[in-house]
Amino acid sequence: SSSSSSSTTVTPLPQHQHSRLHMSSDETNELLKKASLLRREAEALEETVRGTRDKDSKNISVETKMKGAPKKTYTSLKDSDWVISYRFASDDINRDDNEDDTTVKPIFYSGKVKISLSEDGYTNMLNMNSDSDNDSTKDSSSSVLTFEKFWGWDEEISSEDELQYVLFSADVLLPESDPNDGQPVRFYFQAQVDIDNNSNEITLSGGTVTLKKDIKPPGGFWGVFNGGGILAQFRYCGEFIMKPC
């Protein structure tokens, strides 16, 4: 009787409790797997977003470089800098297309040169940013011409069309290969001055290059007389474009 009262009875856990503990472990492992998968997906998404951001940043950088510096404008020709893109011949050009086979073909030169129109009326030649910008080429040779000096500039209103023009001239040394080689030749540059009605911005258009030649009047007086009393005329030899720089 006393032995029966002192014994301890151990009651086993119900079978379904063992099952609940085992299922909780499976669920935890499953959640860990899902969390790991979500983390990998998040990392992949972050890489994609970072790549897109970097690409957009590069595109913005390229667009900024392409746009470059703000456009330079002038409302006055005084103290203004310009780049001239020219193409002209070393002699006058017959624009009537009636040359015969004995006519010497004109030699054309093209290139760029920078100038500054100063307030006191002088025209100064500026250095180009690079050697490639300063290229002056001849159509059939590597020989180049040389701008030795630019003369003063002026503005005037034409009596013929009542439009405003800017005029200046330059002494140009032709290469030895040119048939007109010798002393520097003076070329005259003329461009129309266009002024915007709203902003007063100045643009130049219709640039022509001419040279003065002594001529014999064909049965009458025409052209202009030079200082020596010899009849002279400005003859067309090319064109140029002039933009702010």
pLDDT digits (tens, 9 = 90+) for 154-181: 999 999 999 999 999 999 999 988 887 7
Beta bridge partners of 88: 109, 238
Angle at 115 between CA 155 and CA 79, to 5 degrees: 60
With bands split at pLDDT 50, 70 and 90, how would you rate the model's confidence at 131?
very low
The SS3 of residue 49 is helix
Question: Does position 132 have pLDDT exceeding 50, yes or no?
Answer: no
CB 87 within 8 A of CB 239: yes
Please tell me whether the overall predicted TM-score, pTM, comes out greater than 0.75 for this model.
no
CB 104 within 8 A of CB 89: no
What is the tens place of the pLDDT at every residue in 67-123? 666 889 999 999 999 999 999 999 998 766 555 555 677 899 999 999 999 999 999
Report pLDDT for 10. 53
Measure Cα distances from 217 to 158, 196, 233, 235 in Å.
Answer: 24, 42, 10, 14
Indicate the average pLDDT of the chain: 77
Report pLDDT for 237. 95
The SS3 of residue 140 is coil
Range 147-159 average pLDDT: 95
Dihedral of CA 29/32/38/41: which sign?
Answer: negative
CB 111 within 8 A of CB 136: yes
Q: Say which amino acid occupies 211.
A: L
217-234 burial, b for 16+ CB within 10 Å, e for fewer? eeeeeebeeeeeeeeebe
Range 7-15 average pLDDT: 52
38 φ, ψ (degrees, to nearest 5):
-65, -35
